[in-house]
Chains A and B, each alone.
Chain A
Amino acid sequence: DTGVSQDPRHKITKRGQNVTFRCDPISEHNRLYWYRQTLGQGPEFLTYFQNEAQLEKSRLLSDRFSAERPKGSFSTLEIQRTEQGDSAMYLCASSLAGTGTDTQYFGPGTRLTVL
């Protein structure tokens, strides 16, 4: 499968614990995005990278959230001191910028449940 992959697919944690999610983009895609989706809503933008550089962060991304893309390939999203309000689907997408189209292709998501 050469699409965007995410790991884990599901994560259940207790309030106050830290969690980390991983995203592997489509090979050679230089942009990688993180979105959050709650039940019944469309995805909401969190942050994105072009290669290693984090270019934009949403106000939704509180200081408990941190994202990295150290080598310009895979990315991790860490949530510290999780709260029940963090329960959501965390989606990763990737795109190839600079080719005339910048279509974002999504992974299957990581569903986080905070108890």
Chain B
Amino acid sequence: GESVGLHLPTLSVQEGDNSIINCAYSNSASDYFIWYKQESGKGPQFIIDIRSNMDKRQGQRVTVLLNKTVKHLSLQIAATQPGDSAVYFCAEINTGANSKLTFGKGITLSVRP
């Protein structure tokens, strides 16, 4: 759903299930994408990144998928744990133009025990 004011979209998953967090990015010229996790009162924490010449990249328990045709990015978290509860942001950069990150709307992941 859409975020309105202070209310971020929320994804609620059962502990142990897989989570999929989606993001639509805005700039077709962006060539580098990053997922960040942000816990309450802390700065964004790097999770995983992907360049535009790839469509999939795997890390430990996380996978990022990139679909440039529809400007869509997703983060898959395997075997979701309570410690994964946080706000997740996707961010994009057009490295040929500048170095500033443009963040998407955050999504709150809530893990049910």
Contact = CB atoms under 8 A, between A and B. Distances in A.
Contact of B100 (A39, A45, A91, A106): A45
Chain B's interface size range is: 20 to 34
Interface in B73-113: 89, 91, 93, 95, 98-106
B50 to A, nearest CB: 11
Interface residues of A, number: 30
B12 interface: no
A95 B49 CA distance: 14
A99 interface: no
Contacts, number: 66
Nearest to B103: A42
A40 B6 contact: yes
A4 B5 CA distance: 29
B99 A48 contact: yes
Nearest to B49: A103
A103 B43 contact: no
Interface in A89-115: 91, 93, 95, 97, 101-109, 111
A38 B42 CA distance: 13
B103 A43 contact: yes
A102 B6 contact: no
Given A40-B6, A45-B101, 19 more contacts: A31-B99, A33-B99, A33-B100, A40-B5, A40-B8, A42-B91, A42-B106, A45-B100, A55-B99, A56-B98, A58-B100, A91-B44, A102-B32, A102-B95, A103-B46, A104-B34, A106-B36, A106-B44, A111-B41
Interface of B: 3, 5-8, 32, 34, 36, 41-46, 49, 89, 91, 93, 95, 98-106
